[in-house]
Structure 1
């Protein structure tokens, strides 16, 4: 009984003309997808091109390293709440002071504070936590316009990939507390809502602070999305809205 796969490890370029199949570890390549050379050859050939460091297989190792670094940095964090809000919230504004109060209140309730590590509302929550003697965590992201981690971050981790960073926000938090924010805040909010709706996380309170800011979105979800059958009426209970920071803290930290 013959086999189409050659038993020897020679590269595609060294095989007879017309070679149509190649086994590279668990990957099978055929026809026009056969590659020249072997993995060892490409690794050891220092004279070769350097664009391999930008290829998808190499990115997998970078992604893996980000998970390892994030898990290692936060594994012993203890109870925590992720706080989101706009990076454009100016210091000294009522929203900024609200963020400081929330960060302080979470620490007083026995929780660490996790934010995106940037300026604005994130800085405010980190500031409230740090100045109250609690643990203030910042999970930054590599962006062309990002200002880096704010000065009130005690434990900071910078990420290349949004999806790795999102995992850390959920894995090491007992809930989300969401201040008024833009697209990034909405992204994190709807990610969390989807995880709760689909049962990927079993208990994960999501509290929005700012009735005037969030009411329009809540009304649209109820009167359009749910009304047209695009979501279930029970999904309206996936989050709560309040103007009271003390109530917000109590809702997100209750056992």
Structure 2
């Protein structure tokens, strides 16, 4: 029988030289070929979908929570680590679960504080060459391949962000969050910066450069709340809820 000039593969129509010589089922059931298919974009879509499904399923009954960000490079003997631990404790005492990236440094400190206070300590890990897995103080952990799936979980299941001193990853999460608030993608979502001496130069730059150039407004910069007091940070988050 001659080959058809048209072939339908789901919603896709193929004609001429694009018509395959085997069917999808044949390729599925034939295990003698290479495994390159697991690295193709259509297969990645399914893996991305699975990450969202797993994340939504694991966190859907979490209850009130706050995401805490900060540097992975700060050791347990650093004052910021001690501050992150206290933040975790105060959040649990106020009735919140604590969500971090699940790594070392300030993430570990916040998870330690949450666990020590008897609360839910969530770690959303990411597959990176230099990461060593979730810290020992996480009692609900999910590992992600894709940053964007992980970022969705940080925002979707949190009542707000507390951001401690950190590097590029922390700044990425911080400015993504403030962009979502500024553009109205999320509402009633407080962003608290902890560590005044660390964050004040950034806020000064926003005012003297971005506001001065007209690229942001004073109201945009006012979306950030600055404090060194964990109790005040929690109060800001609680008062922001409708």
- Is TM > 0.5 for Structure 1 vs Structure 2? yes
1:147 to 126, 132, 135: 132
Paired position in structure 2 for 1:59:
44
Relative to 1, partners in 2 of residues 1:249 and 1:31: Cα closer, same or farther, differing over 3 Å? farther
CA distance in 1, matches of 2:72, 2:154: 17
CA distance in 1, matches of 2:78, 2:108: 13
CA distance in 2, matches of 1:233, 1:28: 53
Task: Provide the alpha-carbon RMSD of the alignment.
Answer: 1.8
TM-score w.r.t. structure 1 length? Answer: 0.88
Matched, 1:90 2:112: no
Determine helix, strand or coil for the equivalent of 1:195.
helix
* Farther-moved stretch of structure 1 (134-143 vs 39-48): 39-48
Relative to 1, partners in 2 of residues 1:231 and 1:33: Cα closer, same or farther, differing over 3 Å? farther
CA distance in 2, matches of 1:33, 1:132: 61
Does the 8 Å contact 1:174/1:204 carry over to 2?
yes
Paired position in structure 2 for 1:24:
9
- Number of positions where the alignment pairs a residue of Structure 1 with one of Structure 2: 240
Relative to 1, partners in 2 of residues 1:48 and 1:99: Cα closer, same or farther, differing over 3 Å? same
TM-score w.r.t. structure 2 length? Answer: 0.93
Which blocks of at least 5 consecutive residues in structure 2 are unaligned? none
1:205 shift after superposition: 0.3
Larger Rg: 1
Paired position in structure 2 for 1:181:
166
1:232 shift after superposition: 2.8
Relative to 1, partners in 2 of residues 1:227 and 1:76: Cα closer, same or farther, differing over 3 Å? same
Paired position in structure 2 for 1:225:
210
1:204 to 189, 197, 202: 189
Runs of 4+ in 1 over 4 A off after TM superposition: 29-36
Which blocks of at least 5 consecutive residues in structure 1 are unaligned? 1-9
Paired position in structure 1 for 2:123:
138
